[in-house]
Chains A and B, each alone.
Chain A
Amino acid sequence: DQQVKQNSPSLSVQEGRISILNCDYTNSMFDYFLWYKKYPAEGPTFLISISSIKDKNEDGRFTVFLNKSAKHLSLHIVPSQPGDSAVYFCAASLTGNQFYFGTGTSLTVIP
């Protein structure tokens, strides 16, 4: 029973353009959301987070949007760079103890 879903397994974007990665969740009680980036043969690295009291959080080229009524969050990367090519995971938490991860979206940024 997947509580966090990333329905696009892969995404290709031209360098300089915007990358939009999407994530849906089923539990309306989730109160904290994170995005991680993962390169092959490495552990995930934290990218950006948002709590349920906000609808937007920005950090440089990365912006996360949260739509609580739709149970949807998205990660925008502008402008996309070849070094952004990686697998991106979204994760959600109810208590800050347990985290539920999506299945990941593989982003390829084409030079």
Chain B
Amino acid sequence: NAGVTQTPKFRILKIGQSMTLQCTQDMNHNYMYWYRQDPGMGLKLIYYSVGAGITDKGEVPNGYNVSRSTTEDFPLRLELAAPSQTSVYFCASSPGTGFSYEQYFGPGTRLTVT
């Protein structure tokens, strides 16, 4: 099993550009999450999904969009990139409530907006 994979690993965007961060898991987990980690800070939840077709906002959703058309994939869309979105982005998955709250994380995408 590959676990949680994220692409790309690194990306530099210009202000105003858009991009999609890809996330795929092969563990058949119902729950998936997107976090961002700024330097010296903890992880902040952007969006999460409890199953295909269901998404909900986390702590810091502004400037981002998500979709969940399949169990495996949970892409994060940045529209009109801003310097404040410079961060490391982590995708995670979890079996979900009733099974385990343990989250499995991908290796992260380091995004710079200049």
Contact = CB atoms under 8 A, between A and B. Distances in A.
Interface string B84-114: 0000001010001100011111111000000
A37 to B, nearest CB: 11
Given A97-B97, A98-B58, A46 B43 contact: no
A43 B105 contact: yes
Contact of A46 (B44, B90, B102, B106): B102
B42 interface: yes
Contacts of B108: 41-43
B56 A104 contact: no
Contacts of A93: 101
Contacts of B107: 41-43
Given A43-B90, A44-B105, A45-B105, A97 B42 contact: no
Contacts of A104: 42
Interface string A9-32: 100000000000000000000001
Interface in A38-64: 41-46, 49
4 smallest beta-carbon distances between A and B, as pairs: A43-B105, A101-B42, A96-B97, A101-B43
Interface of A: 2, 4, 6, 9, 32, 34, 36, 41-46, 49, 89, 91, 93, 95-104
